[in-house]
Chains A and B, each alone.
Chain A
């Protein structure tokens, strides 16, 4: 398919802008600041634009297209009412610097969302500001630091403990927050290895970062002991909310002993994933951490009105502009209101669906941890690889031919040939069965006709793509017809 730049014809345009004939001449821009060469943006008529992007959409697969069991990403249905609400002019055209009295509805929505998230997480105070989970993590770690700084323990507590199953964002956030990483192993049942942990938690430990249920889809059976170890050492506990979809209304991170939680609104609370964002990563904390939350805080005033409080002398500052990705809040708020206390059914169904798929697939694939799972589980294709030369990647590509989006593969790193499957609560039994049938068929194909897997996919707009070539000779923008002129740049650094 052509790029939009390859469809461009000089002189065409999709836009017409208002004209004002009687205006005085615009000021001259000094020559050295004036654009010297126009950017080669596409030149297309409006209908060509619509056709181009419509064609692109047909070459893409979303939850609306079909089953999308991408582990750890919680690809659930995104209700259309949320889109209608976020587009209301009262939200979409509302300026974030509007005076408080002109933004009462928006502020109230955020305050109400904070209240709901506090109840769902079992914690006391919420900041909606972080733009996504990883920014929530960074904010959370800066909260940890501010908390210990206020207690005079900032220099002493330099270490953050992270299990080897963690998402890569956890260690990356630890580095960005200026902490040292202390990795801890996973035991044979898929829990944090408590013996390993005991030797690593001491007066130099600032915090634990834990995803529970973990990235292998298991609830840590030793969570009470872990909580005792950390709090006895005076350290804090951080909950990565990536897998919150498993436990809403059943067990809350606050009840498990966590002091800080980030919530992925685009996972658990249905903000559409948008091909890679936007997300939302609010943080919820215990009372003692509230003074350190990002500014401004969204507060309810004594007169019942809502406002922004910038007067938080101990705040970590701002991690993002304004009060956060508001449009995401509208969608998640509407979604949460449509569940109310029935949110528990959402999590129960997600867990039921995952266990059902696990039960049907465990004969054909290796199961590294033979337990009931939570909302997702990890299988391994190592036997397929050993016996038939078919890898997790081959299974994933072959699933495409059955019109399913593949699971997450090769994660977590502790499981070889990992296939991480998260069906979510959304799916009907018929869909789950069709997926299981496909996975079982693929396991048979691996034995009988492995080339079917290795050459898959056969029915997508492109065949398997050469990622080595893309990495070796990176082509990251269209070159147009001509050889690009070199940008004259000082070589100062």
Chain B
């Protein structure tokens, strides 16, 4: 058999090494394994492929997907087709960063540690919070993590989530909550946004209130009111935010949220069929010892030079074990680094312009859909950011299928998650869409009889 390209030992290396170990064969190294539990045959897998063959095979699979380079896509619902600049790829492909692990040894890892410190700073700036972790898995699991923080911070055993929060976030919160004994209560939306009075009636004895800003329908919630209601009831107000909205929308820390979290994908990651991305999790300083996951802190070396280390590690599972603030170990550092590079690329002006462009283009889309296809926004009284719901007059999944045949993916069929919305499309308009593409969307929706 030919030498495998991922192995480096030659026959003579092997013989010499076995001699040093004092055994006659590799087989002998496995003598602790009882016969009864051995496989005793070759793995039933297809034969090994060369790089060229695996490229051809996997690239052929990629060809069979209708990605956003093949369709004009208005699909969002939590994952967005924002532009990812080339500098992100360039940095993330640096082998020193790509192939390192968690910076347990700070002297070997100043690059990653400083980058995480810079990322934490960016997240704190955007959210108005005091402390950010090094990232969580995604925008769903950080919400579950935040519930764990709230449960222990308040000693309460109920969490309130608005129905206008991303359905997947709610599902993951429910899965985790069943494990650590939290009841999950949902508060319905009224005409696309959450009613503060209705929230007030649900919030007593809650450990936390989670709401999304902008919410899943793209509408702006009365966030300061929701936060006040939660805080008055002694519940931690938790804002689930879109980082890219925070050039134009207020930082949750400024209106009193205790924790801010979100899905980082839109900022610097490709959609990649759902991952890997990074979850953002930030909090006011009083929760620093309850934060899950890695946190990087500044310090000095023995010569007095500034440097960075993982800090407050006694929160974590490798030290506190069953009493840890979370079980998370490996997080999403590389994707968070992509986020940092992207936010650096944007800068404060770019972030604001991007937000304004999303606002303008989605407003233009509303206008064109009304004008050319006769489609009116479902929640016409609400201000929306980059996404809006529109009633299409027939089953939205059929509209999606018909529009896709014309090269346009018109959005997400909200009936998949919300009762009574079978004829509602959620249309996302990022800065990547052009006015001409929006016109095309309107024409296609008119054609397919929406």
Contacts and interface: CB of A to CB of B under 8 A. Distances in A.
Which DSSP category, helix, strand, loop or mixed, fits chain A's interface?
loop
Contact of B107 (A73, A103, A131, A457): A457
Interface in A4-27: 4-5, 12-15, 17-18, 20, 22-27
12 contacts: A13-B346, A14-B346, A20-B435, A58-B96, A134-B317, A168-B316, A276-B102, A337-B46, A353-B9, A427-B8, A489-B256, A492-B234
B108 A406 contact: yes
Contacts of B253: 487, 489
A448 to B, nearest CB: 22
Task: Sort A-B residue pairs by CB-CB distance and give the 6 closest, nearest first.
Answer: A274-B334, A322-B274, A90-B62, A64-B95, A60-B111, A102-B66
B404 to A, nearest CB: 7
Contacts of A371: 32
A59 B114 contact: yes
B231 interface: yes
Interface string A258-301: 00000000100000111111111000000000000010000000
A266 B330 contact: yes
A339 B129 CA distance: 47
B211 to A, nearest CB: 13
Contacts of A266: 330
A490 B231 contact: yes
Interface residues of A, number: 212
A425 B7 contact: yes
A328 B224 CA distance: 39
Contacts of A25: 360, 363
Interface stretch (A194-202, A229-237, A470-478): A470-478
A56 B114 contact: yes
B134 A276 contact: yes
Contacts of A108: 61, 64
Given A23-B435, A89-B62, A476-B297, A13 B21 contact: no
Contacts of A469: 299-300
Contacts of A248: 43
A442 interface: no
Contacts of A386: none
Contact of A169 (B26, B329, B352): B329
B58 A60 contact: no
Contacts of A96: 79, 271, 273-275
A275 B112 contact: yes
Contacts of B97: 56-57, 60, 62, 274-275
A346 B351 CA distance: 47
Given A25-B360, A411-B318, A41 B330 contact: no
Q: What bracket does the count of chain B residues touching chain A fall in?
A: 35 or more
A273 B299 contact: no
A43 B18 CA distance: 58
Interface string B1-41: 10011111110011011101111001011111110111100
A204 to B, nearest CB: 17
A426 B5 CA distance: 10
B321 interface: yes
Contact of A93 (B58, B69, B95): B69
A438 interface: no
B332 A278 contact: yes
B96 A62 contact: yes
Contact of A339 (B37, B48, B254, B296): B48
A396 B106 CA distance: 11
B418 interface: no
B334 to A, nearest CB: 3
Given A172-B324, A405-B108, A476-B296, A56 B115 contact: yes
Contacts of A348: 26, 29
A333 B61 CA distance: 12
A277 B335 contact: yes
A334 B128 CA distance: 42
Nearest to B14: A352
Given A142-B179, A323-B273, A463 B332 contact: no
A223 B297 contact: no
A333 B57 CA distance: 11
B271 A274 contact: no
A50 B87 contact: yes
Contact of B323 (A54, A175, A345): A175
B374 interface: no
Contacts of A34: 248-250
Nearest to B326: A172
Given A275-B337, A488-B256, A95 B138 contact: no
